[in-house]
């Protein structure tokens, strides 16, 4: 077990380092206009010194041109480092257990420029969601934030409308995505599984709620594979309890197999087609 005092020491050192870097970044040390002063003496003894000075000279000339165009030391982009991005994953999100306003995950995510997600369940209070969205997207930039709903088929209709209305009333811009997998997990015959009918029911409820409120269903998150597995109940492949142990390959969460995934895709496509048809309908004016 880690020594608690060492963990506290590591935290203090990390905090001090971040504060120092923050001071440098916002105090002018990161200014591109200081590029000729960034050699710190060590470049004099480096065999790369001449190459560095050549690059620095080019940057200096570019800066002089930008100043002539009106961008001077009072322009923030000239003095502060550019936006930081986390390249460790294609879609970063904070989950049901890691989205506390004063938590480390939220603190980290509000400092990066990636599009990010928030997973919410029926436990999410509407006012808390509004506060969380404001913290992670203070500029209210469209496309920055995705709210991933994972409530379970039986809870979407009662809980999702309150969240949508609260966010809409606050003027915040988010993308709403349905995750029908995680809220419908259950244990059957000692296997962690999900029932296809429940997954489909949650997707249907998600679309119904948005249709009733006039909001936009922005996407669906599914865990699936092209392999012929038996991890989720039901669907066209008619997997039942006795089939689970035949090709249960996941080491974490149960996934839809290829046939189940295609069935879900066709269901969603059919729903979208009907929605588009309704939106395109033109009511002929009555002739008086």
Q: Structural domain boundaries of the chain?
A: 4-79, 92-280
Question: Which pLDDT value is given to residue 288?
Answer: 44
Question: What digits encode the pLDDT tens for the residues 204-219?
Answer: 999 999 999 999 999 9
Question: Which pLDDT value is given to residue 4?
Answer: 75
Q: How far is Cα of residue 9 from the mean position of the Cα atoms in its chain?
A: 32
- What is this structure's pTM? 0.70
Rounded (to 5) percent helix, strand, coil in the chain: 45, 10, 40
Question: What digits encode the pLDDT tens for the residues 86-101?
Answer: 888 888 999 888 888 8
Q: How large is the average pLDDT for residues 148-164?
A: 95
Higher-confidence residue of 253 and 174: namely: 174
Does residue 17 carry a pLDDT above 90? Answer: no
**Is 92-280 a CATH 3.40.1410.10 domain?**
no
- 177 strand-pairing partners: 148, 219
Cα(52)–Cα(42) distance, rounded to whole angstroms? 11
Residue 196 near residue 232, CB atoms below 8 Å: yes
Question: What digits encode the pLDDT tens for the residues 195-206?
Answer: 889 999 999 999
Q: How far is CA 240 from CA 54, 222, 230, in A?
A: 69, 20, 9
Which structure tokens are listed for 48?
A: 């790369």
């Amino acid at each position: 077990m880690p020594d608690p005092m060492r963990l506290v020491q590591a935290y203090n050192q990390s905090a001090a380092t971040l504060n120092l870097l923050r001071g440098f970044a916002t105090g002018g040390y990161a200014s591109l206009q200081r590029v000729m002063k960034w050699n710190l003496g060590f470049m004099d003894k480096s065999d790369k010194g001449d190459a560095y000075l050549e690059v620095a000279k080019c940057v200096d000339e570019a800066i002089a041109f930008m100043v002539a165009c009106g961008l001077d030391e009072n322009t923030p982009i000239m003095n502060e480092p550019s936006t930081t991005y986390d390249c460790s994953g294609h879609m970063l999100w904070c989950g049901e257990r890691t989205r506390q306003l004063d938590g480390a995950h939220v603190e980290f995510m509000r400092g990066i420029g990636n599009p990010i997600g928030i997973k919410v369940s029926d436990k999410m209070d509407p006012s808390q969601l509004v506060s969380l969205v404001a913290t992670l997207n203070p500029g209210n930039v469209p496309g920055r934030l995705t709210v991933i709903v994972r409530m379970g088929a039986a809870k979407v209709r009662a809980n999702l409308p309150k969240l949508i209305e609260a966010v809409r009333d606050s003027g915040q811009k988010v993308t709403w995505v349905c995750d029908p997998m995680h809220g419908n997990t259950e244990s059957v015959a000692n296997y962690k599984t999900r029932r296809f009918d429940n997954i489909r029911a949650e997707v249907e409820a998600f679309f119904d709620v948005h249709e009733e409120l006039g909001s936009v269903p922005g996407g669906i998150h599914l865990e699936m594979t092209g392999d012929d597995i038996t991890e989720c109940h039901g669907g066209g492949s008619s997997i039942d309890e006795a089939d689970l142990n035949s090709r249960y390959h996941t080491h974490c969460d149960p996934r839809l197999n290829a046939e189940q995934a295609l069935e879900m895709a066709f269901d969603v496509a059919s729903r979208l087609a009907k929605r588009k048809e309704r939106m395109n309908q033109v009511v002929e004016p009555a002739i008086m």
